[in-house]
Amino acid sequence: MNLADLKAESRWLCHKDKRPLNARTGGAGSSTDAATWAPYHVAKATAKRFGLDGVGIVFTGD
């Protein structure tokens, strides 16, 4: 799997001060709650909009 493949996955969260944040709202997020994940481009836009530290992918057992 390359970076383009990972970016296509809807398993991205935002973060600030190492705390996971919802990739759509910038609110509380969780690495175990897929409802708080989003595609890379959505997470990246949310991080920019709210001045967050960045984005990260959630690795699952899939």
According to the model, what pLDDT value does residue 61 have? 81
One-letter amino acid of 27: G
Chain segment 3-51, per-residue pLDDT in tens: 999 999 999 999 999 999 999 999 999 999 999 999 999 999 999 999 9
pTM: 0.91
Q: Residue 62 pLDDT more than 80?
A: no
21 DSSP β-pair partners: 14, 28
State which amino acid sits at residue 45.
Answer: A
Q: Is 57 helix (H, G, I), strand (E, B) or coil?
A: strand
Give the whole-angstrom CA distance, residue 54 versus residue 56.
7
